[in-house]
Chain A
Amino acid sequence: MNPDTLNHWLDSCAAAPGMIGGGFRLSDGTCLVKNFNDRWSKEQLEMAVKLLAEGRGLYSNYGFDARWLTWTFAKGEIRVATRPDGLVLALAAEPDSLAAHDFNRLSEEFLAQDFAAG
């Protein structure tokens, strides 16, 4: 994975109004996280990204090989998508915001993106 490409792609996600933050969990277990406003700290987001990445395997055990998961809470929506190469994306947005409405497009883009390229 090219860190610059990952960073650049994550920055592009901030454009959608209502996006709170997001991050990647790489296949080696390290995380790259960004918060786009002060609502949640980077540390909080990193912990959430790790939890979500670790928890995603649960569903495969029950036969649900999900393309992505959407967690909806009163104060935020979180999208988690996983690529075959092990890269996990988590995006957090305000509930029912434009950013949350953009989750599908961003997830499709994430799944198709070549993050190895510079």
Chain B
Amino acid sequence: MSSDAEKKHLKKYTESVLETIRGVEKKKDEPRSQLIAKRDFVIHQNDVHIEIKEGDDVSHVPERYWQNLKTENVI
């Protein structure tokens, strides 16, 4: 491979990596999308007790309970 071709390839690769990093950073900076409760619900497990009211943003609820919230039609 000629030196020019090599440089061109390296530049393209570098740009690709930077693009990926920028994408990740952008996603990180975006505000977390809101999850709004469609109905009241209470999570009570061990030391966790979370009372959810209809209209509450539940994005702060630990992710391990999201499946419960889906099953219960809360989100």
Q: Do A and B bind each other?
A: no
A residues touching B (Cβ–Cβ < 8 Å)? Answer: none
B residues touching A (Cβ–Cβ < 8 Å)? Answer: none
